[in-house]
Structure 1
């Protein structure tokens, strides 16, 4: 008898929860949900088609082929589309920009067409697991899963009659994985689209079903070069010979570590180091060479590293401390430090957290879990980082979740595709009113 009563309580509780969930979604939102559920097989098939087109960043024709497939969908939805091409010398595809003019808030949607897998990679095709719960393939979450999330979000909005008055710009960059330099050119179209936007939504993949990205660390690179007086090794440390370039560089690097290693959110890594009589780095091939002898005091060193930071203020602080460290050189040596910006930070701010709260409410209304912000230290830079400073509020990680991004184990949890599409469609529909 007690078991029957407990069972009845559980059933009534479930019905109560379902009623509460449904009460938080209006009839228009139910139309969005029903459309996405009805077309989830079509969405997965589109993902398969896109994944089976190689679009490694260096494969410009492949990237553009993916873009043209996406462009057809956007044209059919009434967007005005155009390619913003890069100079031929930059060797990368440009950005596909789609605009839909309307009243109200302007929403910027960001995705990318390229993957990290070149045309000669053995990882080339979409594979659905026998139980149909997961799928593998190049870009299946990063970022072709994001592309089909965007497209079916817009299709659902169009079906519900919400798109006709929408003020939306979509930018699909062609080289997010390795942005062509200078980014003042390769990200110009994205920056221009952001200038008068109110909200930016990034559709990079999510690390988990209950996480979104409200902040990302920025990235810069640094070059440390050292100079010493060449001479016979038997004379090192003597007044006339000094300590040599390698000892000077070791001093600087160790001081970097002791001074900056315990600052939350800040990391700096010397990725390559060269030392000897001559040094040379090929930054295009990520290789280097050095020549010298063990019996000769090193005359030159070169270190190439990166710096990751939570804000511009933190970046400036770190750079200043690093410069100060280089100024107290060892005997008859010198150090020079050069910084180059790569990706700005996407700082945490209250407006981003407000968007997170809205998405969390939507997730709960859909029967899912509440959403949390992933630590900015766990996510690197992305295209949204270039424009976060121009918009009032931004959020990323709105694409599907899975595992193994940037590896041949890249895997999508299939159920996540319709779920994140519903979240995005409902959020956008609420901001079109």
Structure 2
């Protein structure tokens, strides 16, 4: 499905993020190590074989973003599991064309906390990938398309809910599990739904994979993609090339002019990801386009990039070519460091400490729905899936040693937050 983007009419931000200073939420003491819950730990250990079996079944279904059939198959598979746990399961039509429906599973309890869990089943891999490299394991890792980004986290979510069901846990007001289908493209089919669910929640737990060696995600960059479109003039490349205006050459000029932004690092980055130009070898290209993926820690940096791209577009190397700058309509804001997330991370550290283990805090350039939760005013904790690496590549893997501790962590967090939800952000 082609990306939708908006031409610039100004520098308005798509999301307003509340100021998150140290006073944004009431100060909370760092929890001491939580005593190990023997019942939950035993249940998490016992679940591992079936958890990995279900993960294999889901990984071995191609579900790249826009694969409607694959998304439907996985949704049907998981919906049946959630219904068996007493959840009311609803298929919600995607907000953009050519995408599978999203799945919203809801369970009401008798306590206080309204917990929103979010995971996605779409991957960056196209049809036929599973046939080439299906799910497999060695002594340390599991492999396969989407094994960690993010099917491992989604299956972890299902099994945390299974454990809570088996223990008869009802000390929460509501648990909502959103399984979405377009995260890898910035959630164009889900953003309105996410905002609606956030408005009816006290906390968001995100099932993206944890960073290595074993870390939670407490900050993320915001993400969007800019488009550079060049209009030239076609001509016969052999008989009258001088009559043409080469859009591809002008695109190259624009890309070189834009190489003022860092390509890597913890701050703003801008990277060329897609290029296209021309139709035949004997025609001077009339059209050319490039996509620049931009990641930022500060929302204002999107406007800075826009300004540079638009300024460069006014100066062309190839005469009579026209350069237009656009930006995709959907993107994620940054997830900033904030006291609400820090307080949740402290709870997670205490739970891990009860196992005699340590979990770190980290951040990265991968965007996620947690940024929308914080923008909506509720605390969020990200990177709760199994620790993993090699994302968006054939090397993608999930660390098997992290499966049981992460399942235990998620289950205990749900119990604690159901009993005592955190304060909203101010």
TM over 0.5: yes
1:356–1:373 Cα contact (<8 Å) kept: no
In structure 2, relative to structure 1, the CA distance for the partners of 1:48 and 1:249 (3 Å cut) is closer
Within 1, Cα distance between the matches of 2:394 and 2:266?
Answer: 32
**What are the within-5 Å matches in structure 2 for residues 341-380 of structure 1?**
341-350=329-338, 351-374=340-363, 376-377=364-365, 380=366
Please list the CA deviations of residues 112-165 of structure 1 after superposition, one character each: whole Å capped at 9, or x if unmatched.
Answer: 223344442233533333x4x433333322222112210121122233332353
Structure having greater relative contact order (Cα 8 Å, sep ≥ 6): 2
- State the partner residue of 1:308: 295
Call closer, same or farther: CA 1:263–1:166 in 2, change over 3 Å.
same
What TM-score, normalized by structure 1, do the two folds share? 0.75
Aligned residue for 1:70, secondary structure, equals helix
The answer to whether structure 1 residue 95 and structure 2 residue 82 are counterparts is no
Please say if residues 81 and 99 of structure 1, whose CA atoms lie closer than 8 Å, have aligned partners that are also in contact. yes
Partner Cα distance (1:366, 1:120) in 2: 41
- Equivalent residue number for residue 267 of structure 2: 265
Give how far 1:342 is off. 3.6
Q: Secondary structure at the match of 2:70?
A: helix
Give RMSD over aligned pairs: 3.5
Verify the 8 A CA contact 1:229 1:332 in the aligned structure 2.
no
Q: Which has the larger radius of gyration?
A: 1
Q: Assess if the C-alpha contact under 8 Å between 1:79 and 1:99 holds in 2.
A: yes
* Alpha-carbon separation, structure 2, partners of 1:251 and 1:201: 44
| 1:250 CA drift (Å) | 5.7
Match of 1:110 in 2: 118
- State the partner residue of 2:23: none
Question: Within 5 Å, which residues of 2 pair with 1:278-293?
Answer: none
Map 1:204-223 onto structure 2 (within 5 A): 204-223=208-227
Task: Output one character per residue of 1:313-342: Cα deviation in whole Å (capped at 9) or x when no partner.
Answer: 121222123323434567966643222244
Give CA deviations for 1:218-272 in whole Å, capped at 9, x if unaligned: 22222334568999xxxxxxxxx9x997786666544432367799621223345
Q: Find the counterpart in structure 1 of residue 72 from structure 2.
A: 64
Counterpart-to-counterpart distance in 1, 2:162 and 2:34: 19
Measure, in 2, the Cα distance between the counterparts of 1:179 and 1:414: 28
In the alignment, the residues of structure 1 paired with residue 253 and residue 89 of structure 2 have an alpha-carbon distance, to the nearest angstrom, of 54
The 1:39/1:301 distance shift into structure 2, 3 A limit, reads closer
Higher share in helix: 1
For structure 2, list consecutive stretches of 5 or more residues without a partner in the other structure: 1-31, 236-242, 420-426
SS in 2 for 1:156: helix
Aligned mates of 2:214, 2:60 — CA distance in 1: 29
CA distance in 2, matches of 1:271, 1:412: 25
Alpha-carbon distance between aligned partners in 2 of 1:263 and 1:46, rounded to the nearest angstrom: 36
Structure 1 residue ranges without an equivalent (≥5): 1-22, 232-240, 281-287
Q: 1:175 to 1:271 in 2, by over 3 A?
A: closer
Any idea what the Cα deviations from partners look like across 1:344-403, whole Å, max 9, x if unmatched? 2232132222222221222222111231213x33xx223444444114211221111233
Counterparts of 1:412 and 1:354 in 2: how far apart (Å)?
A: 27
Q: Secondary structure at the match of 1:188?
A: helix
Per the alignment, residue 155 of structure 2 pairs with: 148
Question: How far apart in 1 are the matches of 2:47 and 2:286?
Answer: 66
Between the two proteins, the alignment pairs up a number of residues equal to: 378
**TM, length-normalised to structure 2:** 0.76
Q: Which stretch has the larger CA shift, 327-336 or 29-38? A: 327-336
Offset of 1:430 from its aligned partner? 1.3
Is the CA contact (8 Å cut-off) linking 2:229 and 2:288 kept in structure 1? Answer: yes
- Report how far residue 171 of structure 1 moved: 0.2
Contact between 2:218 and 2:361, CA under 8 Å: does it hold in 1?
A: no
